[in-house]
Structure 1
């Protein structure tokens, strides 16, 4: 059976990244991604860092966050940027989120910004991109958007359910 989303890719930072990885793991969808050398994340600055909880991720040679971001965009079919709403402007984005948008454009990778009210439209957009997609999920850290983890977990969970033919959750 062909699936729409074969894997969720993310860098494992607090907030949107981890919410996406955890939602995919809970749904039984493959998780993968690049993280900075040493598994660095804002809440886990010492090696092995986030690799203790997310051994599926691979370290980049560099501790620089930009390399992790670039490689995750490069190695995905599409990128979804999760934010407080689907109309998030580049000027409203965190530096990492803005970099993700720029890299997706420069690498000619399809990207879309997703807010909590845009699940059905996003699934339709994904269907137009193909099947067996590796979807890179990016967005603000928890420190940049309090509640990012919960929002991302809910949005990615809903995307996975709806893309598999089930209904999205009704929780707010």
Structure 2
């Protein structure tokens, strides 16, 4: 059962995952770069992210991979930039990950695939990553639809504080 959705707060897939979790009443959070940096300025405070003392996007990505049980990587046809780096960190940290090509997989099917993946790997803390909004305009709407549908496939009990969450991380 998913207890928490994690992302880095960037525009696009990251924010869509956080918005879907917030709308569904599912605990969410994760690590964001120093200064709450994102391509559109500081990440709004409504997103319950822990700011890293130092480090940029790559450091944040690695920490979110490391502190999650598994990662969903949504993309559109080709992996690039930070999305590709997320795959590298998943391999480096030996963390399971699921690639979802939004160009090929409809949102409802993607949600089912993610639910099956999470059951198979007993995922409780699920990192969600993918392109920022400026890289692909489909990133936010697709990810929001996928994660919203995915959360509907989960049991309904979501405690306010998740077991195993490090102190200071919401």
Q: TM-score range by the shorter chain?
A: 0.7 to 0.9
Instruction: Give secondary structure in 1 for the equivalent of 2:3.
Output: strand
1:120 paired with 2:106, answer no
Instruction: Give secondary structure in 2 for the equivalent of 1:52.
Output: coil
Instruction: Give secondary structure in 1 for the equivalent of 2:153.
Output: helix
Question: Cα distance, 1:51 vs. partner?
Answer: 4.3
What do the CA deviations read for 1:107-144 (whole angstroms, capped 9, x no partner)? 0000001243332222111101115x100000000001
Question: Cα distance, 1:94 vs. partner?
Answer: 2.5
Question: Cα distance, 1:162 vs. partner?
Answer: 1.4
Distance in 2 between residues matched to 1:100 and 1:69, nearest whole Å: 6
Contact 1:51-1:57 within 8 A present in 2 as well: no
Of 126, 142, 145, the residue aligned with 2:136 is: 145
Cross-structure match for 1:38: 35
Distance in 1 between residues matched to 2:120 and 2:45, nearest whole Å: 36
In structure 1, list runs of 5 or more residues that go unmatched.
Answer: 166-172
Cross-structure match for 2:7: 10
The 5 Å alignment of 1:1-172 reads: 4-44=1-41, 49-54=42-47, 56-84=48-76, 88=77, 92-114=78-100, 115=102, 116=107, 117-130=109-122, 133-164=124-155
Instruction: Give secondary structure in 2 for the equivalent of 1:50.
Output: coil
Q: Which runs of 4+ in 1 moved over 3 A?
A: none
Question: Cα distance, 1:82 vs. partner?
Answer: 1.2
What do the CA deviations read for 1:70-112 (whole angstroms, capped 9, x no partner)? 000000000000123xxx4xxx212100110000011000000
What do the CA deviations read for 1:37-94 (whole angstroms, capped 9, x no partner)? 00000001xxxx114231x10111224211000000000000000123xxx4xxx212
Cross-structure match for 1:169: none
Distance in 2 between residues matched to 1:130 and 1:53, nearest whole Å: 29
Contact 2:83-2:129 within 8 A present in 1 as well: yes
CA RMSD, 1 decimal: 1.4
How many residues get paired? Answer: 150
Contact 2:75-2:83 within 8 A present in 1 as well: no
Distance in 1 between residues matched to 2:46 and 2:135, nearest whole Å: 22
